[in-house]
Amino acid sequence: MAEWSLYMIRLANGFLYTGIAEDVERRLKEHREGGRKAAKYLRGKGPLTLVFQQTMGTRSQALKAEAAVKKLPRREKENIIRGITPLAPPPAGANTPHEG
C-alpha cells in the first residue's frame, strides 16, 4: 500500500498551498512546470518552495489531514512549518517533517 504525504508550498507572494501526494517531489515538479497536471491555482505564482511535508499513511488519512490544515489560520500553519505545533502523530515508521 502506498504512503501518502501532506505537503505545503510557499508561493512567491508568501501564500501557502496545501496538498497531498504519494510522491511529493514529483508533484512539486509538476506544479513548477505548470502543465496539465499542475494545480491551476499555482500557475504563474512561482517560484514555488516546498516548506513542509509529512507522511500521513493512507490516502484517506492524508485527505483528512489536508482538510484540517486548510481550515487553520495562517499563524497555525506557520507553527506547523516551524515545528512548534505538531500536525498529527505520523504513523509508526513515518518520515519526519521536512523544512525546505
Q: How confident is the model at residue 86 (pLDDT cuts 50, 70, 90)?
A: confident
Is 92 part of any domain?
Answer: no
* 19 within domain boundaries: yes
Q: Considering only CA atoms, which of 14, 4, 20 is closest in space to residue 69?
A: 20
Full residue range of the structural domain in which residue 60 is found: 12-82
Please give the Cα distance from 24 to 8 (Å, whole number).
10
Per-residue confidence band for 2, with pLDDT thresholds at 50, 70 and 90: confident
30 in any annotated domain: yes
As for how many domains the chain has, the answer is 1
Looking only at the bridges linking them, the beta strands covering 49-57 and 4-10 are: antiparallel
Q: Are strands 4-10 and 16-21 parallel, antiparallel or unpaired?
A: antiparallel
Residue 97 lies in a domain: no
The answer to whether residue 69 sits within a structural domain is yes
Distance between CA atoms of residues 35 and 10, nearest Å = 19
Query: Which candidate, 47, 85, 91, places its Cα nearest to that of 68?
Result: 85
Domain membership flag for residue 5: no
98 domain residue, yes or no: no
Tell me if 55 sits within 8 A of 22, measured CB to CB. Answer: no
Tens digits of residue pLDDT in 25-68: 999 999 999 888 888 899 888 899 999 999 999 999 999 999 99
